Structure 1
Amino acid sequence: MTCTVSSDRKATMIAALAGGWVADAASLGLHWLYDSQRIHEVGGASPEFLPPKADYFKGGFGYFAHEGKQAGDISHYGAATGVLTDSLLAHNGTLDIRDYQRRFRAFFGPGGRWQGYIDNPTRGTLDNLNTIEQKAIEQALSATAVKLTEKQKRVLVQKVLPYTRRLSGEQLADPVRKAISLTYQEPEIQEAGVHLAETIDHHLLPESGADDMQLPAISKLPPLVASYYGSNNLLKVTEAAVRVTNHNDEAVAWAKCAARLLDHLFRGNPMSVALDAGTAEAPAPENLNKARTGSVLDAPGAGDVYGRTCYLHEAMPVIFHILSHASSYTEAVRANIQCGGDSCGRAWIIGPALAALYGVGGERGIPLSWLARLTDAPAIIADVESLVENRRRA
């Protein structure tokens, strides 16, 4: 059943989701430059939307990963968020794990549309999806009652895989049978192929993620939370989605922290309430509480204390520090870039959180000029609007 959402809340949600895309693109030029002094030398007080250049990384420690990207482009974090967004849109805002896995594999795998950096969780997930599929094939072949030659087994596997990779359950039988009939007219071989497809389908696992506790576990959450905020199932679907790419208990715990934080902001609660709610789910709440103390925004200092790398136990306190102290979207995004390290990964919580509070435009919201600099902004915003408009409860 479609959930009724007020026009004001829809506007907030659209701004929040747009805030993730803009913050990601704004951070790309200096992403994974760890030296805050070098960042200041290159970007000054306005380090956003710089074109990615290897020269920026000379004289400071970092890793240049975005050769060929332009100012306004999104990172691999944004690309993965787009995959989950597409899956949610295809299912009226409902998480469908198999569809999400298929889209992730098709987008980032061989022959996919993504051109750019592939992080460790993505690489591990692609490997795991292949391994899970191969084990399912072996289990299916061992359970086939019809006696088949080795050649027939190979042909049947080749016939059924295109369908098990995009269809499930009752959708499989007819197209698989028709595909096999092009080569084998014998009914028993056709039925063996259908059984093979259905058995493979049954043995594909939802937990396909790498054993990894880095930022890709939480960076894709904003569209999911936008579809399920206020729902009793939010944390359940959060865990299910995270384990597609990060099959790790600590990653799931931090993801629940981030999801609960966004959940409260998307519902219109104050930042302090949202931070408290997120902290209650965190595996290391003491660091989050400590990061919120003080009266001065000092993102580089927070990076010195907690770390700047992709690991969630480093990133989340830095995120909480910035959210606790920034007074505008612009200030928060710039502080995140100036902290250094995995600024694009952190941007996917910082951007939506501040945009949920301050919206678009004005002194504190997403600058309209920044929104205009986002590559493919019209298409991205159209998808965001569709997701919010069609939001359904789990």
Structure 2
Amino acid sequence: MHQNRSPEDKARLINALAGGWVADAASLGLHWLYNSPRILEVGGQSPEFLPPKADYFKGGLGYFAHEGKKIGDVSHYGAATGVITDSLLANEGKLDVRDYQRRFRNFFGPGGGWCGYLDNPTRVTLNNLNVIEQNAIDEALKTTTAHLTDQQKRVLVQKVLPYTRRLSGDQLAAPVRTAIDLTYHETDVQEAGVHITETIDQHLRPESGADDMQLPAVSKLPPLVACYCGSDRLMEVTEAAVRVTNHNDDAVAWAKCAARLLDHLFRGDSMQAALAAAEAEAPDQASLSRAQSGASLDAVKAGDTFGRTCYLHEAMPVIFHILTHASSYTEAVRANIQCGGDSCGRAWIIGPAMAAMHGVGSEHGIPLSWLVRVSESPAILSDIEALVQYPQGL
């Protein structure tokens, strides 16, 4: 059973998803600068949408990763969010792990569309996908009973791989036979090709991710949660999506915490209720409770206390602190940048959460002037609008 969304729900989801893109782009200029005094010196009280420059990192601890990027561009986190968005759009709002893996590999791998920094989970995932596929090929060739020459084996593998990378199950046999028939008319060779295809298909694994518990595990969640918010399957699909890039139990646990947070906010619950529900999913509830204490927003102190790096056990308390105490989207994004470190990674939870609460264009929402500064914003917003038209993935 599928449930159509109300106009109010669609509007909230559009605002929330836009909030992630804006917060990432706003943070890029000072991303991975860890020295908060240097951030204040460079960006002052309005550190958003600065052009990425290596000079900012002189005299401060950090890593300049975004050479060649310009104002309004998003980080590799945004690029990965775009990949899962494309996959969800292609599958009517449903998670198809095989399709997601293929698009991830095509976009970030050799000859793909991404030009920029590759984080550890992405690099390891690309390698794992190659290894998984090669192991499947080896198993297929090992179990083939037809008498094939080495050349025939190579040619058959070359012919079937384009199909195993985009089709599965009963979809494979007919087009593979047609492709093989262009070169080999013999029935036994064609059947051997079908066997190779089906064996490869059966041995491709959905858990292709790195053993890594950093922010890429959660940064791509907003479009997935938007498709499955309110669904009993949300935790299931969250784990499946996370293990594509981060095959790590702690990463999955923190991702479920983040997904629960967004799920409640995307359905219109209060920030307090959403944080409480998410905290119950967290592998370290005590740190989240401490992060929410205090009477005022102090993201720099939160970074000093919990850490500023990409690891989820550092990032999630900082996220919870900012969401607890920030009163507007602008205040939250600026606080996140001023905290320093992996601001772009944290932006993909902070931005959607605050935009779900406060919308676009209001005193507390996403400033319209920020929205239009995001590179390729018309295409991004068009995809967001298309994604929320699908019924919830129940």
TM-score, with structure 2 as normaliser: 0.99
Q: How many Å separate the matches in 1 of 2:191 and 2:378?
A: 47
- Does residue 1:358 correspond to 2:358, yes or no? yes
Deviations 1:116-158 (A, max 9, x none): 0000000000000000000000111111121111111111111
- The answer to whether the Cα contact below 8 Å between 2:132 and 2:205 also exists between their aligned partners in 1 is yes
- 2:372 counterpart SS class: helix
Write the distance in 2 (CA, Å) between the matches of 1:42 and 1:232. Answer: 46
Quote the residue 1:280 is aligned against.
Answer: 280
Aligned match of 2:347: 347
Give the letter for the 1:359 counterpart: G
Matched with 2:294 is 294
Aligned residues of 2:231 and 2:392 also touching (Cα < 8 A):
no
Once the 2 structures are TM-superposed, how far is the Cα of residue 273 of structure 1 from its aligned partner? 0.6
- In 2, the alpha carbon distance for the partners of 1:316 and 1:391 equals 30
> How far apart, in 1, do the equivalents of 2:38 and 2:206 lie?
43
Name the aligned partner's letter for residue 172 of structure 1. Answer: L
CA distance in 1, matches of 2:47, 2:359: 21
Structure 2 distance, partners of 1:165, 1:87, is 14
Distance, in Å, in 1 between the alignment partners of 2:22 and 2:121 is 23
Question: CA separation in 2, counterparts of 1:199 and 1:377?
Answer: 42
Q: What is the aligned-residue RMSD (CA, Å)?
A: 0.7
* Cα distance per residue 1:188-236 (max 9 Å; x no partner): 1011001100110011000000000000000000000000011111001
SS of equivalent to 1:383: helix
CA contact (8 A) 1:80 1:220 kept: yes
Post-superposition Cα deviations, 1:265-285, rounded to whole Å, max 9, x if no partner, equal 011111011001110000000
Question: CA-to-partner distance for each residue in 1:303-332, whole Å, 9 max, x for gaps?
Answer: 000000000000000000000000000000
Q: Which 5+ residue runs of structure 2 have no aligned equivalent?
A: none
- Per the TM alignment, residue 393 of structure 1 is displaced from its structure 2 partner at its CA by 2.0
Rounded Cα–Cα distance in structure 1 between residues aligned with 2:233 and 2:326: 31
Which residue identity is paired with 1:4?
Answer: N
Instruction: Give the Cα–Cα distance (whole angstroms) in 2 for the partners of residues 174 and 109 of structure 1.
Output: 28
Q: Which whole-Å CA distance do the structure 2 matches of 1:89 and 1:277 have between them?
A: 28
User: What does residue 225 of structure 1 align with?
Assistant: 225
CA distance in 1, matches of 2:125, 2:391: 28
AA at the equivalent of 2:147: K
Name the CA distance, whole Å, in 2 between partners of 1:312 and 1:148: 50
- Give the structure 2 partner of residue 112 of structure 1: 112
More deviation, 167-176/339-348:
167-176
Could you tell me how far apart the structure 2 residues matched to 1:391 and 1:330 are? Answer: 31
Trace 1:127-276 onto structure 2 (pairs within 5 A).
127-276=127-276
Determine the C-alpha separation between the residues in 1 that align with 2:323 and 2:104.
30
Does the CA-based 8 Å contact 1:160-1:197 persist in structure 2? yes
How many correspondences in the alignment? 394
User: Residues 85-117 of structure 1: CA distance to partner in whole angstroms, max 9, x if unpaired?
Assistant: 010011111000000000000000011000000
SS of aligned partner of 2:330: helix
Query: Offset of 1:9 from its aligned partner?
Result: 1.2
Detail structure 1 runs of 4+ shifted over 4 Å in the superposition.
Answer: none
Say whether 1:316 aligns with 2:293.
no
Alpha carbons 1:250, 1:283 under 8 Å: kept? yes
Quickly say closer, same or farther: Cα 1:232–1:2, change in 2 above 3 A.
Answer: closer
User: Alpha-carbon deviation of 1:2?
Assistant: 4.0
Return the alpha-carbon distance in structure 2 between the equivalents of residues 306 and 356 of structure 1. Answer: 26
* Contact 1:92–1:392 (CA under 8 A) maintained in structure 2: no
- Say whether the 8 Å CA contact 1:208–1:244 is kept in structure 2: yes
CA distance in 1: counterparts of 2:189 and 2:4, whole angstroms: 50
Q: What TM-score, normalized to structure 1? A: 0.99
1:173 partner letter: A
Matched, 1:47 2:47: yes
Amino acid at match of 1:260: R
Deviation at residue 389 of structure 1 after TM alignment: 1.1
Residue 305 of structure 1: aligned partner: 305
Shift of 1:392: 3.0
Contact 2:211 2:248 in 1 (8 A): yes
Confirm or deny: 8 A CA contact 1:226 1:391 kept in the other structure: no
In structure 2, what is the Cα distance between the partners aligned to 1:39 and 1:7?
Answer: 40
* Amino acid aligned to 2:165: R
| In 2, Cα distance between equivalents of 1:212 and 1:110 | 22
Alignment of 1:372-391 (within 5 A): 372-391=372-391
Structure 1 unpaired stretches of 5+: none
